[in-house]
Structure formats: structure tokens, C-alpha cells
Amino acid sequence: MEYFVYIGTLIAIYATLTISLNLLVGYTGLISIAQAAIYGVGAYVTALLALHVTNDLLVSFALASIAGILVSLIVALPSLRLKNEYFLIATMGFQAIIFSLFMNLDITGGASGLYGIPHPALFGYTIRTSFEMFLLAVTLAIICYLLALRITRAPFGRLLRAVREDQTAVAALGKSVFRIKFSIFIFSAVFAAAAGTIYTYSLTAIDPVAFGLDESVFIITLVIVGGTGSLNGSVLAAAVLILLPEAFKFIAIPDAIAPQLRQVLYGLLLVFFTRYRRQGLIGEYRDVLK
Amino acid sequence: MAAGEALLRLEALSKSFGGLQAVSDLSFEVRAGTITSLIGGNGAGKTTAFNLITGNLAPDAGHIYFRGARVDGLPPHKVARAGIARGFQELRLFNRLSARDNIEAAIPGQQGENIVRALIGGHALTEERDVTQARSSALLRDLTIEAHAESLAERLSYGQQKLLSLGRLLATEGELLLLDEPTSGLSPGMVEDFCARMRRLTDAGRTILLIEHNVEIVMRLSDWIIVMHQGGKIAEGKPDEVRGNVVVMHTYLGISS
């Protein structure tokens, strides 16, 4: 039972991360490979707070989000000047820098990370069970989904898609591309960092590997498999791609090669979807990555 | 602004790219309520002049005044908000948005375009949406593409895309419309339709600055013509005056006297 609760928590965390990245990639056309860095900043800020200052959940969410926003604004800056391909490379470099900081700073515990993180407290009540953490993760995912739905259906969402299609034309219509991009980067960062908070409190131990380039590529794989510009697709992809490798555990594959098989599977899915099914599982648009 | 007054004024504008002087010491005025045409051969600097006016390029020297206030140095979206709406020769439609969304994205001052307001939601936004939809429906109807309102822009015919591009400009409520080859690639019937539309727009108080290669259209439609050659202005005047100008005939129209 504990195992299923853990898988469910992971699915909710990844659904949140995928939706937050889809808003950048699928809606706005900003292909960022730095989402795991923002997620990691949220996770580390939460861990450090819990270890040294407070385990108050709301304070953790607030400060993790603020840190996530600050870091994401640094990612956002080059997007204002660089064309898509160059922006992608810039985010990849940024991801590498943040990962290297997690790996090498004393305060982040280096390669072994941080552990022994206390349980969080919400309004004085300590959340101890993994089932409670699962409920928390699902609540965050639902809030993220509903708010993303709201903004994408509003005139603001129309502007996001317009920026994806042609920034020069958006500016010529009197709309500030700068404001649109910064707004969505901030929204996206809040949820990526909050997912980091949930992750830290669920596992009570974190290390840099969970927030590396592989992780960023994995999140963008979820966006593509689910369908760029589809919120439902993001949730579905998170569920399918977390569950699928777990299924390996029930068939006779030795533990020694299971992780490698997982990577192979993700790689194959990425190739398949970009080559044969650009709209993803249930996405609307086919050519965002063309 | 009253008809006949200078709505847009360029003063000694210059722009070079490396060694190429794309626009040099260019000065002219566009009077409110008129159709003013910029003509000249390829490379004469017409599109560069547009890019300078809209803030897509910064001038090396000179100033641009719109309604008496300087607009050079402003970013494109602020120039647009000041009331200068620019159409592109290559249209630059939002291809994978519906025709209606293309129009609605251009309507100014929508609260729902602010992410915080969008998150809060509420009755005001619902009302705003109704107003926006009524406005886009009216524009699409006037452009005769109402039946394609929900089609993606990329699915429309070229003529319909040109109309949609014009509609997007009109939706901005800009007072001055910069049109870059609005009739190129259109059938003769649609060219006539466009000319009639442009005339109706100026009758309704808008002002048009036009880049157009079709000399016959320019002569028929323009109130004022500015002739550019190698980045500078070589002549300007009413259509008859320009037609009678020997230099223009020689350099632009290729007719030797």
C-alpha cells in the first residue's frame, strides 16, 4: 500500500512539473531545459529551511517559490533576446550551472545531498504519514491544473499562443512581449518550486541527481509525450511514464539493468513522438517543435 | 487630430547597416485623414523607413514625431499603443490561432490579458469577453470572413489572410495605419475591394501611409506621394505633380524623357 501511495505522490509531483513547463514550451513556444533546476531550487530551499529554520509548510512554499521565481527570471532574461534554438542552449547551460552548485556547495551537502529532513507542519499539525503527503501533492497538482486552465482560457492565454506564433507581430499590436514572458515564467516557477517543496518533504532526503539535466529532459519528454499545449495530456503523460517503468518491476527484468531500460524507454518514446506524433497523446498542435 | 494637420513627422532620419546607407536624411510629413504613399525601387529604403517609424529599428540620427510627441526611441509595442498600427508585407498572422483570436489578440486594453486579473477571474472578465467577441464579430463581418471565424489563420486563402491582417490592424484602433504592399498577390477584384476599403478608412478619419509597387493604384489612391531613391527623398507632391516630375519618371518609373 505504501508503495502505491509513493507512486501516486510521484505522479502528482510530475503532473505539476509538466503542466508548469508546458505553459512555457507548449503555449508560449519557450523551449526551456532548465525546469529541473527551478524544481531543485525549491527542493533545496525547503530542505535548508526545514533543517535550520522552520518546517512550516506555508513558509516553505512561500520561500521556495520566491527563490524559484528569482532563479527563473535569470533564465527568462535571455529569452527576450535570443531566438528559440539559442534560448534552448542557454537554458541547458543554466541547468548545468545550477546542478554544479547543488553538487559543489557546502550548504547543499555536495553529492550526498541533505537528509534527515523533519516532517512539515501545517497550522501546527505535523504531517507524518506518506498518505497525507500524497494528499498534499495531489492538492498542489489540482490547484496548478485549475489555475493553468484559467489563464490559458483567458485573453492572457491567447497572448501566450500569439507570442509562440510571432513575437514581432505581438509587439506591433501594442502588447508587451516582455511582460507576457515574465508573467508566465513567474507562474511556471512558483509551481515548479512548490513541487520541489513537496518532493523534499515526501522523501525527507534529497541529492543533486534528482535535479540534473536528465531530469529536465525527462520533464520535457513528458510535455512532448502528453502533447504540447495540452494540460490533460501533461497529467496523462506523467501518469503513464511514471507507471510504465514501475511495471518493469513486476516482470522478470533484473534490477541491475532496469534503470538503463527506463532511459532507453524514455529515449524511444521521445523519438517516436517527435517523429510520428507531434501532437502527443492528446495534444492539439503538431508543429510547435518544427 | 483635425484632417490636414501633420499626424506623423520625420525629421532628418538616417540609418545605415554597416557601410550601407539604408535611409539618409529623410524628412516628410503625413497629414491626418490622407493616404500618403511611399514609392521607390527595391532597396530605396521604404521598409527601413517603416521599421524606423515603428521602433523595430533605432535611427542613427533624426527624430520622429507622432501627434507632436517624439516616438523615436520607444519600443515597438509603445509605438503601437501610441496609435501607429503596422501591417507586414509577409502578413505575420498568428497561423495556429483562429481568425477570431487573431483579431481579438489585437484589441487594446483587455483586463484579461493581465495574468493576475486572469487568475482572479470574475464577472468583469465575462462582460469584457462579450464586448471583445462582439467587436471581433463586427470586424470579421465587415471583412467578409465571418464564416471562417473559427478556422485557423493558416487554413484561410491568401486573399482572406490579407483581409484578416488588415482586420488585425483595425482592431488595434490605431489612428495611423502603415500598410506594406497590401494589394500584392491579390486578384484584380480583390485589389479593387482593398482600394475601396482604404478610401473608406480615411473617410472615417484614419490616416494611411502606404508602400505600394503598383503605380496605377498609387496614382489613383494617394493624396500625397513621396518618392524615395537610395535611402533619400527625391521628390514629393500630389499624384499629378509626381507624374510630371522628370527625375521621378527617369529614376523610378524607368521612362526616359
Kindly tell me if the per-residue pLDDT of B192 is higher than 50: yes
Segment B214-218 mean pLDDT: 89
Q: How far apart are CA A129 and CA A201, in angstroms?
A: 11
CB distance A115 to A198 below 8 Å: no
Residue A278 is predicted with a pLDDT of 77
Model confidence at B1: pLDDT above 80: no
CA distance A55 to B30: 66
A174:B108 CB<8 A = yes
Q: Which among A173, A176, A187 is the nearest to B172, CB-wise?
A: A173
Chain A residues with beta carbon closer than 8 angstroms to that of B78: 174
Instruction: Tell me what pLDDT residue A79 has.
Output: 80
Query: What is the H or E stretch that residue B109 is in?
Result: none
Contacts of A29 (CB under 8 A, 6+ apart): A84, A163, A164, A165, A288
pLDDT-derived band of residue B213, with 50, 70 and 90 as boundaries?
confident
Q: pLDDT-based confidence at B118, cuts 50/70/90?
A: very high
- Quick check: B239 and B218 in contact, CB under 8 A? yes
**Band of residue A81 on the pLDDT scale cut at 50, 70, 90:** confident
**Whole-number Å distance between alpha carbons of B225 and B210:** 9
- Pick B113's closest partner by Cβ from A150, A156, A166: A156
Q: What span, in angstroms and rounded, lies between the C-alpha atoms of A23 and A21? A: 5
Asked if A26 contacts A228 with a C-beta cutoff of 8 angstroms, the reply is yes
The mean pLDDT of chain A is: 91
Using pLDDT thresholds of 50, 70 and 90, give the confidence band for residue A288. very low
Could you say which residues from 122 to 151 on chain A have a Cβ atom under 8 Å away from some Cβ of chain B?
147, 150-151
Q: Once rounded to an integer, what is the mean pLDDT over residues A53-78?
A: 95
Sequence spans of domains, chain A: 2-210
pLDDT score, position A183: 96
* Residue A206: count of CB within 10 angstroms of its CB: 23
pLDDT digits (tens, 9 = 90+) for A7-42: 999 999 999 999 999 999 999 999 999 999 999 999
Asked if A174 lies within 8 A of B81 by C-beta distance, the reply is: yes
ipTM value greater than 0.95: no
A74-83, A184-193, B187-196: least confident range: A74-83
The phi-psi region of residue A116 (left if phi > 0; otherwise alpha if psi is between -120 and 50; otherwise beta) is left
Count Cβ–Cβ pairs < 8 Å, chain A vs chain B.
102
Asked if A115 contacts A201 with a C-beta cutoff of 8 angstroms, the reply is: no
B131: exposed, middle or buried (Cβ count in 10 Å: 0-12, 13-18, 19+): exposed
Q: Residue A289: what pLDDT?
A: 41
SS3 B94: coil
- How is residue B87 written as a grid cell? 501591417
What digits encode the pLDDT tens for the residues B71-109? 999 999 999 999 999 999 999 999 999 999 999 999 999
User: Which CATH architecture group holds B6-83+174-251?
Assistant: 3-Layer(aba) Sandwich (3.40)
